[in-house]
Amino acid sequence: MTLKLREIRAEWQRTGVLTSASDTHLTLRPLGSFQLLNAIFAEAGLLIERSQSSRAVAELIRQLGHLQRARVFRLPGVRRLVESRATHTGLAFSTAAETIRSGFTDAVCEKR
């Protein structure tokens, strides 16, 4: 069963779903944030679209599996590696590992 936008509604502290008396089961799956916002704005006749940076972030999170795995980008060495031109033109694994390691050492020394 596929619900239309007018068959599901937000109610006070719950969600309301309009079905027929003959329906025996219902499966609800969450919408993504963008899908939800798109549907809300579409009701007002407005079209929304993601910025280029928003699409890049969404793709990065998708590739990592979930947002918490992006915490690695907090390490200075990883940020330095991503920003370097050599990363985009080809870089040996050992060089990348050394860049991350040196950044990690810098971060630990700064906190002391």
Are the CB atoms for 39 and 64 separated by under 8 Å? Answer: no
Classify residue 62: in a domain, yes or no.
no
Q: How many domains does the chain have?
A: 2
Are the CB atoms for 106 and 76 separated by under 8 Å? Answer: yes
Per-residue confidence band for 109, with pLDDT thresholds at 50, 70 and 90: low
On average, the pLDDT of the chain sits at 79
Q: Domain of residue 81: give its range.
A: 68-111
Classify residue 85: in a domain, yes or no.
yes
Classify residue 58: in a domain, yes or no.
no
Are the CB atoms for 3 and 27 separated by under 8 Å? Answer: no
Listed in sequence order, the residues at least 6 apart from 36 whose beta carbon sits closer than 8 Å to its beta carbon are none
**Structure pTM?**
0.46
**What mean pLDDT do residues 22-38 have?**
81
Measured from the Cβ of residue 16, the count of other Cβ atoms closer than 10 Å reads 10
Report DSSP state, residue 16: E
Angle at 106 between CA 103 and CA 109, to 5 degrees: 150
Task: Please report where in the chains the tokens 């915490």 appear, as a residue.
Answer: 71
pLDDT at 5 over 60: no
Angle at 3 between CA 42 and CA 10, to 5 degrees: 65
**What mean pLDDT do residues 20-30 have?**
79
For residue range 36-65, list pLDDT tens digits in order: 888 889 888 999 998 998 888 888 888 888
Classify residue 25: in a domain, yes or no.
yes
For residue range 65-75, list pLDDT tens digits in order: 888 888 888 88
Classify residue 48: in a domain, yes or no.
no
Classify residue 60: in a domain, yes or no.
no
**Dist. CA 71–CA 48, nearest whole Å:** 29
